[in-house]
Amino acid sequence: MTTTDAERAAMRRALTLAARGPRGVNPQVGAVVLSPSGEIIAEGWHRGAGTAHAEVDALSHLTPDAARGATAVVTLEPCNHTGRTGPCSEALIAAGIARVVYAVDDPGEKSSGGATRLRAAGVDVESGELQGDARALLHDWLTVQQLGRPHVTVKWAQSLDGRAAADDGTSQWITGPVARADVHRRRSLADAIVVGTGTLLADDPALTARTPAGDLHAHQPRPVVLGSRSIPVDAAVRRHPQPLLHRPGNDLRAVMAELAELGVQRVFVEGGPTLASAFVDAGLADEVLSYVAPVLLGGRRLALGDIGVSTITEARRLTVVSVDRLGDDLLIVATPHNRGEN
């Protein structure tokens, strides 16, 4: 790959612009147009489904012919399909762009092929510039493209002896304030938060992401309740700032696909044990978060129930990503060996 210092700097700028766009069905993309001498002459980013793509947004700031011979630096391969907007590859060709530098290949079945189209039209194309940074920004969107569903984190809090609640079903709070603040911070990074009706009826959770002072985080995950039992009219979750989604069936894959269609890229599953087990059993847990408190509860309320393991050779082996001490508690983050193959 041969790119100039100006192109690399422009890609950094394009990544910053991309992050201004909303998370949703469409990817966050940024674009910068450089003059033949390497100066930035236009910038753009994608503001969500139905609006101009980043390249077209950048070109819209230029007078006709101003982009002739220029270089477009884009965080994602320019698309090659007509959706709600036209193909970006055609817009770049029509504007007279001579060179395109992009970071990540578009994995979309319909939208990919932009680089091939550009090359066929005589445009010089380079890919892979700052690919790692761009992939980090697009990680969850790329997961949706690859798996047809959001990235799923399954979280639970457990006693040292692996219980998620005391024998009478009470579980608030097994862990301390530092661990709970960490949970709320992670909730604020998710697009949806999922619980089963068992947890909803036992704990009446608000399912909001709050600071230790009790204020709402700027971003709130959409609350999702799964299970056939009805949600009480006065349930706290009904006062959530995001619209509540209640799905009575137990087809987790169907619900995950539906959430992806709604633009949900990252799901935080907060249990309880029945639902957490169902996600693990279905191979839908991309990441497991186990908050372990130095407390013993004994009894029947195990953190996980049936996950389809009847003998040790069927054990779900995980790779530990991190172990952190949060106040008196531990947080273990682990991912399955076969992540992404389900």
List contacts with ligand NAP (CB under 6 A): 156-157, 164-165, 169, 171, 174, 195-199, 202-203, 226-229, 250, 252, 270-275, 278
Which residue lies nearer to ligand NAP by CB, 27 or 196? 196
Catalytic entry in 7, 43, 55, 77? 55
Sign of the dihedral through C-alpha 156, 161, 165, 169:
positive
Residues forming beta bridges with residue 282, ordered by sequence position: none
Helices (H), the chain: 5-18, 54-59, 88-95, 114-120, 131-147, 177-189, 197-203, 252-261, 273-281
Shortest reach from residue 291's CB to ligand NAP, in Å: 7
Which residue lies nearer to ligand NAP by CB, 270 or 286? 270
Shortest reach from residue 218's CB to ligand NAP, in Å: 25
Query: What span, in angstroms and rounded, lies between the C-alpha atoms of 161 and 124?
Result: 61
Which residue lies nearer to ligand NAP by CB, 31 or 269? 269
Shortest reach from residue 252's CB to ligand NAP, in Å: 5
Whether 55 is catalytic: yes
Number of helical H runs and strand E runs in the chain: 9, 13
Shortest reach from residue 172's CB to ligand NAP, in Å: 7
Structure tokens at 303: 């953190």
Residue 227, SS3 per DSSP: coil
Neighbouring C-beta atoms of residue 292, cutoff 10 Å: 22
The residues carrying an active-site annotation are: 55
